[in-house]
Amino acid sequence: MNKLGSEVQRILVVEDDLVSYEVLASALRKLGHVNVQRAEDGAAAISRIAKFQPTLVITDILMAPVDGLELLGLIRTGKYGLPAGLPVVIYSGNTHKRLVTQCIALDVSGFIVKPVSVDALRKRLADLRMTQAVARGGDYYQGVVSGMIAGMGDAPSVSAMRLLAPASDTYQGESAVVESAPSATGAKLGYLNWNDRYSVHDNAMDSDHRRILGLINDAFLLYSDADGQGGLSDIAAKLYQYTVDHFAAEEAMLRRVAYPKLAEHLELHRSMTQQTREILLRIEALESNVERDVFQFLKEWWLVHIQTADKAYGDYLLAPSPST
C-alpha cells in the first residue's frame, strides 16, 4: 500500500471554525508541515485549490454552501478543473456510519477524528493511503455522485440528506447550527448567509450578489419544501431581471476600471445568459422535478461565477494602481 508521507508538502485545511483550524494547523506545524493554508468552506476551497495547489486536503464536513462530502465529490469528478487524484482526508468530530460509507465510495484518503493529538495526527498522516481516484476515472465517480444527489445510492450526500431525508433519518454526526439568510422574499432560511469574505470590493456588485444569495435561498426552500410551481415562476422572473440588471452594471464597471480580463468575463456572461434562458424555458414548460436543477444552477452560479470569476476582478480592484 502506497504511503503519502514525505509527499505531503502543501496542506489545505477546509474548516469554517477558526479555533478548530488553529488547533489542527498548530499540530501540523509541530510535525514539520509549515506550508498550511485555510479555506473557510468548500466553496472557498474550490478557488484556493487552483491557487495553492495543495498536495493534501483535510476537510471538515458540515459547512455551507458546499460541505466536505460535496467537495470530495467535486474533486473526484474533476469538476471546475479540480485535480481528481488529490488526496482528501475527512476531519470530523463524529463520523456516522452512513457518512463513512459515502466517503469510502468516493475513495477518501483517510479520516481524522476531532479532537486530535499531535501523536495521533503523526500516525494518521503516516498511514494515509494513496487514493485510487485516477485509476477509477471520472465516469465511476460521476455515477457515485449522481446516485447520492438523486438519493438512490447507498449514501446520499450530507447536503442531500438535509434536503431529502425524513425527520427520523437525519444526519446524526457533528451538531451544527447553520445561520439562516434572508431569501429574496424576506423569509428566514437555513442555507446560506452573506459573509464579508464573499465581497468583491465594490459595494454595488456586493449588493447584487446578495440578491443572488436570496434567490439561492428561495430555490432551496422550494426544493426542500415542495412549495409549488407558482413559487418557481416567481424565482424565474427575479432571475431574469437579475441577469439583465446585474450583467449590464457589472460590465459597465469592468470597462470603467479597464479590467484586463474583460473579454473573458463577457464570454462568461454570454454563456450564463444562455443557460439562464434554458432554465427559464424549462420552468415555462412546467418540466417535472425542475426545482432541483434550478437550485443546482443557482448554486453553481455562486460557486463558479461569483466565487471564482468575480472574486478575480475583486482582487484586481483591491490591488494598488501602478501610480500609487
Which pLDDT tens digit goes with each residue over 178-205? 333 444 544 444 466 777 878 888 999 9
- Nearest alpha carbon to residue 13 among 51, 31, 40: 40
Which pLDDT tens digit goes with each residue over 130-144? 444 455 666 777 777
Instruction: Count CA within 13 A, CB hemisphere, residue 36.
Output: 19
pLDDT of residue 141: 75
pLDDT interval class at 150 (50, 70, 90)? low
Range 181-318: architecture per CATH: Up-down Bundle (1.20)
Superfamily of domain 5-159: Response regulator (3.40.50.2300)
Choice between 16 and 127, residue whose per-residue pLDDT is larger: 16
pLDDT at 226 over 60: no
CB count within 10 Å of CB 312 equals 15
CA–CA distance, 152 with 158 (Å, rounded to integer): 14
Domain boundaries, the chain: 5-159, 181-318
pLDDT of residue 162: 33
pLDDT of residue 156: 37
pLDDT at 164 over 50: no
Which pLDDT tens digit goes with each residue over 30-60? 999 889 999 998 888 988 898 899 999 999 9
Which pLDDT tens digit goes with each residue over 61-91? 888 778 888 899 889 888 888 898 899 999 8
Query: Which grid coordinates are listed for 317?
Result: 480592484
CA–CA distance, 314 with 41 (Å, rounded to integer): 19
